[in-house]
Amino acid sequence: EVQLVQSGPEVRKPGESLKISCEGSGYTFGSHWIGWVRQKPGKGPEWMGIIYPRDSDTQYNPAFEGQVTISVDRSVTTTFLEWTSVRAADSATYYCTRHRCGGSCRPGKYYYGMDLWGQGTTVIVSS
Amino acid sequence: DIVMTQSPLSLPVTPGEPASISCRSSQSLLHTDGKNYLDWYLQKPGQSPRLLIYLGSTRASGVPDRFSGSGSGTDFTLKISRVEADDVGVYYCMQALQTPRTFGQGTKLDI
C-alpha cells in the first residue's frame, strides 16, 4: 500500500527540541519530493518546505527557514521535521505530503499535485 | 507571496443540488508552458487534506466526475454537479506556481 505514516503526538515545553518523522512506503521513495505542511486549529494549511530524498535538495518557505530543518534518511525511507527550540506558536498539526512534480519541482516539468498525505502529527508546546 | 482568496467562506448546500466555489489569485497562475498551477484539496472533518484537482482542471485519481475544476489566469472555480452528504468539509485552493505554495482561506461546505 502506498502511504506516508507519521510519528505520534508530541508535547514539549518551550525551548525544548523536537523531531517528527514521516515514513514512506509502497512507492519509490527517492523519486518524489516530500513536503511539510502546518495547520493550526481552525486555520488553513501553510506550506513549510520540501525535500528531494534522492539528493536532499531542499526548498523552504522563507517564513519557516531558520526556524525548522527538513531532512531525510533514505535508508529508512523517512523524512524529518526538526526544531532546536520550540515555541508555543509552533503548536499545530503537521502533515507530510508527497509532491508529484518533475525537475526541481518548479513549473515546466510534470506536475500531479500533492497526491499523498500522512495522517498528521499533533504538536503541543506548553509550559 | 501569491495571495489566494476564496469565496464564499461558508456554503450550505442541499444534497442533489450543485455547488460552486471561487478562488482568485493575486498573480496569474498561467505558466509559459500553458498550464495553470492551481490545485483543489478537500479536508473532511478530522482527516488530512486530499487532492481533488490539479493543474486547474485535472481530476486526481479516484475523484468522482461530479467534481470539476475550471478557470485560467487569476480566476478559478470548483464545481460539484450534485452534492452528496459525504462531500462535507473544507475546500482549499492552492497555487503551485511559486515557492512558497500558498493556500486560500478555505470554504466550509455543509449540508
Q: What is the pLDDT of residues B14-38, one digit of tens each?
A: 999 999 999 999 999 999 999 999 9
Task: Confirm if B104 and B2 have CB atoms less than 8 A apart.
Answer: no
Residue A116 Cα, gap to closest chain B Cα (Å):
8
The predicted structure's pLDDT at residue A103: 83
Minimal Cα distance from A99: which residue of B?
A: B96
B14 at interface of A, judged by CB pairs closer than 8 A: no
Distance CA A57, CA A100 (A): 15
**Do the Cβ atoms of A44 and B104 come within 8 Å?**
yes
Residues of A in contact with B39 (CB under 8 A): 113-114
Task: Confirm if A25 and A5 have CB atoms less than 8 A apart.
Answer: yes
Which letter does DSSP use for residue A30 in this model? G
A92-122 pLDDT, tens digit each? 999 999 999 988 898 888 999 999 999 999 9
The predicted structure's pLDDT at residue A108: 84
Task: Confirm if A98 and A53 have CB atoms less than 8 A apart.
Answer: no
Greatest pairwise CA separation for chain A in angstroms: 47
Task: Confirm if A120 and A93 have CB atoms less than 8 A apart.
Answer: yes
Name the residue with cell 505542511.
A37
pLDDT in tens, chain B (111 residues): 999 999 999 999 999 999 999 999 999 999 999 999 999 999 999 999 999 999 999 999 999 999 999 999 999 999 999 999 999 999 999 999 999 999 999 999 998
Task: Confirm if B110 and B12 have CB atoms less than 8 A apart.
Answer: yes
* CA angle, residues B104, A47, A83, in degrees to nearest 5: 145
Q: Which cell numbers in the block locate residue B67? A: 467534481
**Do the Cβ atoms of A44 and B106 come within 8 Å?**
yes
Residues of B in contact with A45 (CB under 8 A): 41, 49, 92, 94, 103
A124 at interface of B, judged by CB pairs closer than 8 A: no
Tell me which residues of chain A have a pLDDT lower than 50: none
Minimal Cα distance from A62: which residue of B?
A: B100
